[in-house]
Structure formats: structure tokens, C-alpha cells
A and B are shown apart, each in its own frame.
Chain A
Amino acid sequence: MSLLAAKRLEKHYGNHVVLENLNFSVEPGEFVTLVGASGCGKTTFLKMLLGTEAISKGSLTLDDQPIPNEPGPDRGVVFQKYSVFPHLTVLGNVMMADELHSSKLLGKSFGAAKRRAIEKAHARIDEVGLDQALDKYPHELSGGMQQRLAIAQALMMRPRMLLLDEPFGALDPGIRQDMHVLINRLWQEQQLTIFMITHDLKEAFELGTRLWVFDKTRHDPQAPEAYGATITYDLPISRDRPSEALKEKLQQGGLQTHTQETLL
């Protein structure tokens, strides 16, 4: 049984087709990296997984059930920014999920429940290496630390899949490398299923076990909105194969796509 499956999935706004003819199935534990030119619908796709964008046609199923049409605890998310709550400390941010769960009315726990939440949050915070910053507010953290916090926060719910929308896009190269190590370790330790949008092809090859390239296969110059993007390449990436070889393979295929020009 696959975790996530799509059949002839399509998304359009009025006559503007954004995505068309998406067919795939993803198994638990895969690390899918999504690349493609700006505006090709990667983020729209991620929003469909999140449930904030409705499906226009076809089917998209999570555990064989149609994907819910609003965000829920089964799908964790980390955005490029604004992912953490500015009014809560590191500890407060990570505890939030537990508190919302244990106290339906106030969304805040007290006494023994609070101590349990703090303990659980501590473990998560240690994992991402923020144990020195428990009582700091997000504005006191660097960009990399904020993203670490966002990841820790998202993993509190043990989601079925983790959605990352260019999570490291705004970070310095050195910090980005650290984040790659972190996300890779978390993925292996906790057997996560991850979907990650990125602009950095190197990152996509390095982290993913499977690479999706979003691009338009048909293009009508008279009506640029008539055709949408789809997954033009669905490549398994094996960890031991160097990414250079894959890139070459892509190029040998004689691909003259827009994506290639911008990415490769």
C-alpha cells in the first residue's frame, strides 16, 4: 500500500491550467525532492498536499483516503519563513502541539500535563541542537536556528509526511550544509516521508531518494495558460551514485526544457 498516490491529478484556476496529468505513488520513507522553474506549480502542489488548495480533477489519496481539504496534524510543514510563532519561546513553540492536544479548551496545559509536555519538547529540541536556547524568542535566533525550531515543532505531531517548502532557501551556504546533515539524520532516525521543494539542484540530489522535475510538456505560445506543468522526470536517486552522473544522464536525454535552462 502506498502512502500517497495521485491519478490524473489536475489543478486549474478558471482557464488557467497550473498542473495536469500527475500520476505517482509514494511509499513510506521516501525523500522526494521537487524542482522546477519558478511559477511552475511546485508550491501549488505542496498546498494541495497540505489541503489549502482544492483539487480540480483526478484523485489524490493519503493512506488510500482522499486527502483532507484542510491542514491537519497528519501532515507537518516547514515554510521558508514565518513557520514559528514569534510570541512563544523555543520551548513554547515546540510544546504547542502537545498542549493543543491535551487541553482542548485552553490550548495550554498545567501541572503534570505541562511537565510531560516540557519533557517531550526537550527531547525534540535536543535532537535539533537548540538545547542552549530554550527560553529564547524566535527573533533572538538566527535564520538557521529558526528553521531548526520549525522542524522540531513540526515533528512533535509525528506526521505521516513532512512538507518542506524551500526550507533552507534563505540560509547561508555553510548553515545550509548543517541543515542538510540534520534533516538527513532525522529522516533516517525517524523514518520520515519527506517532500521538499528546492531551487538548489545539488541539494535535491544530495538529500532526496527520488527527484521530481516539474515542467510543461506542451506549450502553446498563443495561449500560454492552456497547458499546465506535470512531473516530467521522476528519477530514483541512489545515495552511492554521484549526482554528477545523474546530471549528465539528464542532459544526454536531449532535454531542451525550460527547467533545464534555469536549473542545470
Chain B
Amino acid sequence: MRYWSLLFLVTAVLVVAAFGVGAFDPSWWLPENVSLHGPLHIGAEVDHLFILILVITGLVFIGTQAALVWTLWRYPREFQPKATYQHGSQRLEVVWTIIPAAILVFIALYQLGAWTDIKFRSAQPKVPPIAEVTARQFQWLIRYPGPDGRIGTPDDLHTINDLHFVKNEPTVIHLKTRDVLHSFFLPAMRIKQDAVPGLTIPVWFDADRAGTYDLVCAELCGWGHYKMRGVVTVHETRRDFEEWASRALEEQNRSQLATIGGTVATASAATADAGGN
């Protein structure tokens, strides 16, 4: 029955090959990273740690799978040696305890810098928060300071699921929740922070490319968790951001209708045959 070992061999080879494809095909890999070259480069640190840990665990995986396959191949059922009793090998046990422990201690120490940069209050950029983000079941309520620069005043701009900030600027938000635990997750900026009832938590991030990205909830928060998705717009310049904010504020202060009704899109029926019912 030694051929069973080939099944383990093929599985291990396929898993390693999948990562090999992933390294060359972006659609198999992590989401786009837009926090590489900005002032904070959080994304660069996070991806570096990810790759390092992937390489370490990958080498261990290949080694253990090789040992497993070799053992299955070398000692099949037909081999049938006579069993003998032995107490074990203290030297071997010490070796296989110390090596993983050393690796874990290394990772624990090596990641301290990244953790400090991302989570320690001492690393928080010295800029006023761009917005206060309050999670609730099931949306992100976002409140910008408005012209007076202070949050909590009548001129604040309120949006829902719509976060805006500026390219290459260290950006801080204050994160709150009105009900249960949520998690503020910007995959493209490699930042994730739980929102905890009763706490106001500063979160900082940046982006080196303008564009639109996802804001998602990364903590199962109830039946509508999947609906808790926002759009992040990174503006090219501060001026673009301010233009957007003043337009949004103008709409928020609307007291008369200019035009009434109207539709956005049109549909036309019947282009291709519907093949079957």
C-alpha cells in the first residue's frame, strides 16, 4: 500500500504550486497594496511580515511533507518489522522543541516594529482626525469636521459608508461603535481595527495612489454583516478633497429643489434571444 504516499505527495506539490502561481498572478494573491510608498508605509511592513512568515511556514511545510512521504514510501504495511519498546530520544525532543521556539521568538521580536508603527499611540501621526467613523448595525456613519475644523459642531458633514481622504497624507480617524463589536478593515491599506463599544480608538493609514477602494467590516456583527461595506475614495490632492467636501456640504444644506424627479438610467428590452425559459 505504499502508493498511498503518492496522494500526500501530489497534494503537497499542488499546494506549493498554488503559491507559486500566486506569486506571478495578482488575481491569486493579496489585494492591491496602496500603502507601500506613502509616508507611513504600513502596507509595506505588513506584507513584508506576511511574506516572511509564509516563507518560514512554507519551508517547514515542505520539510514535514517530504519526511511524511518518504516514511510512507519507505515503510509500507508489507515491511512489517517486529515492534520494539523504547523510551524515546531526549535529544530529538529537545531539538524539535528548541527550533520552533526559536522561530516563534524571532517572529515575536521581529514584528515589534510594525506593531509599534501601526498600533502604539506614540506613532500616531500628529494631524487632526479627518473624520469620526461610527459603526452601527449595519453601516458606517462618517462625520467630517466641516469648515470650522472641529467634529461635533453644527457644520459637520455627515456621510454614510463614504470615506474620503487624500493621497500621501498620514490620515487619522476616530473609530467608535454604537452597538456591538465591529472591525474597521481597509484591505488595500492593510489596516484593521476592532471598534469596541464605549471606546474611541484612533486609527491611522495612508495611500500612495488615488482611486476608490473597499471599506469592510471584519467582525461578524449580526445578520447584516455582509451589507456593511463602504467606499473609500482617495483624492489626488487636498484641494480635490476639499472640493468634494464643499459640494457634499452644499447638498447637505439644501433647502429648495432645483430640479424635480428625473431618472438616472434607461434600459432597453430585447437585444438577444433569451434561449429557453
> Do A and B come together as binding partners?
no
